[in-house]
Structures are given as C-alpha cells and as structure tokens.
Structure 1
Amino acid sequence: MNFTFEPAMAVTQHCVRHRFRYATCKTCAGECPAQVFSPIEGGMHIDASTCIQCGNCLFVCPAEAISGLSPATRHYCGDTLVGPFSGQPPTVNELLLWHREYEIRFVALSPEQNELWLLAIARLNLVLKAYGEATWGIKPPDVVPINLARRSLFHVPREHVHTATVRPGIRRVRQYFADQSEAALSIDASRCVMCSACWRACPEKALRFDAGAFILDAAACTGCGGCTAVCLHQAIKLEKRRGLSAIKRLSARERTCRSCHRAFWALEPDAEHCYLCKHHAHGMRS
C-alpha cells in the first residue's frame, strides 16, 4: 500500500524576516483569519493545527515564502464566479488574478448569505476603479432544477461550470498590472551614503544602481521591506499603498574626497567628503 503525504506547511528561507534581522514584515499574520502566524525574532512561528487552508497568505506574502499550502479551488462559468463559495473570502490580489487570467467580471451569489464575499468584491472594485479597469458586478445565482425521481438527486451536474485555481504570487500581479504599484519608495538624499546595501538586498531589483543613477522602480516592488531593514542610515521610506507606478531616477556623481582623496559616489551634488571622513572627528582618515 502506497501512502502519499502533503508537504508540511512552512515559511521558507525566502521570508524577509529570515533574511534580515531587523525586518518587520508581518503581512501573512495580518491577513490570516485563523492566527496561524506569529512574528518572532528572526522569523515567523507557525501553528499549523489552526490553519483553515484558505490559502489567502499565499497571495499577500511579498517574498512568496510560504510552502505546503494550495490556493482555493473556485468555480466559474464564462465570465462569472459561481458557487459553492468558500466561507473565507479571497484577497484582492487573488481576485485581480482571476480578473486578468480568466477575465472574470461577475460573481453569482446571494447577498444575504455571502456578506464577506460582498465586502471582498467591494474592495476589489475600489482597486479596479483606481486601475482604470472594468469593475465586477453581482448576479443572482442560478436555480438548478433537481429531478427527484432519479438518483441524480445526490449529484446534480452543472453544465458549463468549470473549476480552477490561480497561481498565487504578488510578482504575477505586478506583471499583469505593470503600470500600477502596491508600494511607494522614496529616499532621503541627505542620509543616503550609496553603500549599495539596499539594492543588493532587493530580490525584485526595484532598487538598483545603473549608469550613474540610483533607480527606484515602484512597479517592481512587492513591499517586503528588506531595503529598509538593511539601511543603517534610515534613508529609505517604504509606504504600502496602491497607485500608479513611477520610476524615479536620482542622479549620482562620482566625487573625490577632499580628506582621503578616495573616489566615492554621492547623491548630493556638493558633497566634498566621503561618508567616513564626513563623520570622522577630525574630518580625515588614514
């Protein structure tokens, strides 16, 4: 007899809290209705015994670090999601993927029995409206006739109804809505010392240095906060909010330090001393 076992639920080493000591991300904990996740120093504790298998955490984790879970299976007919519906409504990101991949535009549900789903659709429509996309509508559910004279009473087939899942990931959302962003990046040029820690830490290349310019690409940012966790000078500000994406290019100049005569990069055009000499008690270093 062969036994197969599903992989255990886990938070992998891709989690930003595993990678960076001072990371503060707790997106999965904030989304989970069953309080499965608890932030701890250096990671995230999981109580898998309380998990209700909704899979919502898969669609909000900025590092796509959660394993051992599968997204919920949904039912659809044409451009409409139909029942049966899960007790826990989907996240906006999951619905955005249904919007793009399956061109869903309606939900057939009974409002008095699916209040949480109505709230989820309302949140989705706010985002779609901001994105300039067609919003979703609500349809009354179809009444399926049942033949009481046959055993089909126990299984009523529904023609043209299909089941599917969407592959989770904020990166996929970013690809489908490349002109939008879920995070706003900014930098304080007076604090930044061009140490390169932030763009080395960013797995999405939302921060990068190229051809003498410090580039902040909000469309690629998933909001993990790794950049702010490694910035010792608190020069980077990350705000999680949806809106039009923008690419900021900050010109950097290669300068020669007046004290140690070594080359360094600076965002401030009038910088005369490298970071070490600037903060040295005597304005110099060996």
Structure 2
Amino acid sequence: MSILVNWLESLHEEMKVSAKCVRERNRKSECSYCKEKCEHEAIIVMENHLIIDANKCTMCGECMIACPLSAIEGIVSNRVFDGGSLVFDLNYVPSIKELLIYKKRGMASIQISHQPLNEEWKTVISQSNNHLIVLEENPIEVVPKNKDEMLSRRAFFGSFQKEGKQLAKGLAPAAWKIESDDWKLTKYYPDYQFYSVGLKKEQCTLCQTCFTICPENVFTIKGSTLSIENEKCVDCTNCAVVCPENAIEIIPDIKRKGDNLENVHLKACIDCGHTFYTFDYEKEQCHVCVNRDPNWLSPY
C-alpha cells in the first residue's frame, strides 16, 4: 500500500526548471520550446531565466516533453496507460517526440473506446510511424479498449498485499516520474541522429565558442580532426545562437548516425604567438588578432 500512497502523493509535486536549462548556461539563448507549448501561460521569462507560475500551472507536463534537454522536472499528470497502450484522450494531442519515446518505453498501441481518433491524433500517429520506419521500429497500432476485468472485493484488496508494487506501476503513466534525460530522444535512439549540424567552413573561425556552450558535447577536436557527433544533437540551438559568425545551422535529419569529420590545422599566430585551429593551412593569424582593431595596442 505504501508504494501506491507514495505515488499518489508524488502527483502533487510542482514543476520546476533545473540547471540544465540552456538559458542558465547561455545568456544569449532564446530557447522557448516550453513557453510556446504552454497553453496556460504559466511559463514566464525573467532576466532570461524561465520561471513556472505555480498558480497557473496545471501540471499537464507539455513543457517537460517539449524541452529538448529534459530540463524541467515534475510529472506528466494527464496521460493514462493501460498495459502497453496509451489511452486516447481528446484533452491533449501527443507530440511525435513523445510517442517515439513512449514506444521505446514499452508502448505498442493507442487504445480507443467509444470515441474514434480525431484528425490531430491521426496525423501525429501517422507522422510518428513514418519516423519509426526510418528508425527500424514496429509501427504504433490503434486498438479497441480491453474489457475491464471485474475483481471481487476480497480479491481486490488481496491484490494490494500480493502485487502492490505491480499495481502501482500499472496505475502510473509510463513516464510518471521524470528522471535525468527522460525526455531526450537521444537517450532512446543512440544509433540514430535526429538533426545534422551544418557548419559553414567559409564563415567559421574555429573560435570554439560552440564547443564550450554545447551541453551535449557535440563538437570535439582530436589531433587534426574536428568531429561533429550529430547523434548527440537535441536542437537546443545553443551553438547557433552563440556563434559570432552565424556559421552553424541545425537541420532536421533522421537517419542512422554518421561521422561528420573535418580536417583542421593547428597553427601558431604570428601576432600573439598563441596556438589556434583553422581550416585554412595558409592562415597565419588567430581569430582574435584578425578581428583586433589595428589602432589599438596589442595586448601581447
């Protein structure tokens, strides 16, 4: 019984934005996936920080699902699961991302009863199944509601003692308690990428600002090779926003992950003597010295 009680009590836990939020790492960030998704205007921006107004929040969980970095903690309270089925509900429409995650967490179908799917649900399921084909997964089916099994009063209470833990799990939604990275697609499909990070080499100075600001460590340089690990990208847009040369573009691109490798050269700047990376072997100045006003005295 205690497991069930603890679960029911946990439903009162308020939503909160964690330190993983890109706005906490990057003051230039304009990420607003959660704010745009919230129909109750419960999320506000204050000095570039996201704050959830508990008085307006209905704990629907839409903001948690929408966040690319799973940076909002709480509970999705309005999803109902029956075994391996998500029960159809007119009060919300799941996202493609949500259904792809549920699929990996054991959901196989959408369950309907007397009311047929509306067009919005049909569209999302169809689009999700198109993605699942690429991801080499079985499609999500639509199935009729299972007949409820009737238990006697004695059998009902006996089930608490005998299978309390299983019952609590059955009552709870598949994602009732949000843990670290639970709403990140990359956690569930590590062999695939959902985005390609486009790098415009003619504009990029390899200043490595994107390296330090990327929360997923998409960019690394090993020896003379720049590696862009597209399978890690969650489209938080941090790198694109912070790039001083506007040299980065995030492109939706679902496919098996592939290495994106670029040759780079390690050089010593003729002005300051500091080492720097460049795509152009003939380049002699680092990006700092190239952009330094010649009328100012060199700090080196």
The TM-score normalised by the length of structure 2 is: 0.75
Q: Does 1:108 align with 2:111?
A: yes
How many residue pairs end up in the alignment?
Answer: 274
Residue type at the aligned position of 1:133: E
C-alpha separation in 1, matches of 2:266 and 2:117: 60
Of the structure 1 ranges 261-270 and 221-230, higher mean CA displacement relative to structure 2 is found in 261-270
CA-based RMSD of the aligned residues comes to 3.6
Give the Cα–Cα distance (whole angstroms) in 1 for the partners of residues 231 and 48 of structure 2: 28
Per-residue displacement from partner, 1:128-157 (whole Å, max 9, x unpaired)? Answer: 13323221121222455889xx999xxxx9
Residues 75 and 84, structure 1, Cα contact 8 Å, conserved in 2: no
Deviations 1:204-255 (A, max 9, x none): 1112222232221111111112222332222222235544433311111012
Task: State whether structure 2 residue 100 is matched by structure 1 residue 92.
Answer: no
CA shift for structure 1 position 257:
3.0
Provide Cα deviations, 1:73-110, integer angstroms capped at 9, x if missing partner.
53233xx41547472233322322221221x3322214
Query: 1:239-258 alignment to 2 at 5 Å?
Result: 239-240=251-252, 242-258=254-270
CA distance in 2, matches of 1:232, 1:253: 21
Q: Is the 8 A contact 2:194 2:233 kept in 1?
A: yes
| Aligned position for 1:127 | 131
Find the residue that maps to 1:183 and give its secondary structure.
strand
Unaligned runs of 5+ in 2: 1-8, 160-165
Counterpart of 2:5 in structure 1 is none
- The residue number in structure 2 matching 1:35 is 41
User: Is the counterpart of residue 163 in structure 1 residue 166 in structure 2?
Assistant: no
Q: Quote the Cα distance in structure 1 between the aligned partners of 2:184 and 2:21.
A: 18
Distance of 1:197 and 1:71 partners within structure 2: 39
1:12 and 2:18 are equivalent in the alignment = yes
What's the counterpart of residue 174 of structure 1? 186
Instruction: Give the TM-score normalised by structure 1.
Output: 0.78
Aligned CA distance change for structure 1 residues 173 and 196 (closer, same or farther; 3 Å): same
Please list the CA deviations of residues 15-69 of structure 1 after superposition, one character each: whole Å capped at 9, or x if unmatched: 1122211111111123233332244541224333332322122222122221243
In structure 2, relative to structure 1, the CA distance for the partners of 1:23 and 1:240 (3 Å cut) is farther
Q: CA deviation at 1:265?
A: 1.5
Partner SS for 2:124: helix
Identical aligned pairs, as a percentage? 21
In structure 1, what is the Cα distance between the partners aligned to 2:182 and 2:251? 16
* Aligned CA distance change for structure 1 residues 41 and 109 (closer, same or farther; 3 Å): same
Describe how 1:170-209 pairs up with structure 2 within 5 A. Answer: 172-209=184-221
Instruction: Choose which of 51, 59, 63 in structure 2 pairs with 1:57.
Output: 63
Larger CA deviation: 266-275 vs 168-177: 168-177
Match of 2:6 in 1: none
2-side partners of 1:233 and 1:170: how far apart? 33
Q: Which moved more, 1:246-255 or 1:42-51?
A: 42-51
2:142 maps to which of 138, 149, 158: 138
| SS at 1:48 equivalent | coil
Pair 31,46 (structure 1): closer, same or farther in 2 beyond 3 Å = same
Change (3 A) 1:256 1:205: same
Per the alignment, do residues 183 and 34 of structure 1 end up closer, same or farther by CA in structure 2, a change over 3 Å counting? Answer: farther
What displacement does 1:276 show?
Answer: 3.2
Q: Distance in 2 between matches of 1:211 and 1:71?
A: 48
CA contact (8 A) 1:190 1:268 kept: no
